[in-house]
Amino acid sequence: MSWLYLLLAIAAFAVAFKTASTALMVVALIVAFALVIAWLMGLLAARLESRSGNPAMIVDPAELTRLREQAEARQAAAANTEPPTV
């Protein structure tokens, strides 16, 4: 979708360069500038989305608490089963 903004911006620049009317040129340049900004924002959004992790893999607080308790229980069991070093 963001590439469509770039193509429309190029078309707006073409209109701005080909027209004889100053008002149309100013409007076309403003539109072209806005479309270039929209293209860049879409490009950056796609890049950020590709780097972000899967939101389904985020651990909720209850699950995190349960995992911490399990880890503490394993550590306590490991500390109790180790023979004392002399």
**Residue where the block lists tokens 């995992």:** 67
Report d(CA 28, CA 13) in Å as an integer. Answer: 7
Q: Is residue 15 part of a domain?
A: yes
Taking the CA of residue 35 as centre, how many other CA atoms within 13 Å lie in the half-sphere pointing to its CB?
A: 18
Query: What are all long-range contacts of 52-56, with beta carbons under 8 Å and residues at least 24 apart?
Result: none
Return the pLDDT at 83.
66
Residue 30: give the domain boundaries: 2-80
Instruction: Give mean pLDDT, residues 45-66.
Output: 83
Q: Is residue 58 part of a domain?
A: yes
Q: Is residue 86 part of a domain?
A: no
Return the pLDDT at 84.
62
- Count: domains in the chain: 1
Structure token digits, residue 38: 């929209």
pLDDT tens digits, 21-50:
999 999 999 999 999 999 999 999 999 888
Q: Is residue 75 part of a domain?
A: yes
Contact 14, 47 (CB under 8 A): no
Q: Is residue 38 part of a domain?
A: yes
**Percent of residues, the chain, with pLDDT higher than 70:** 92
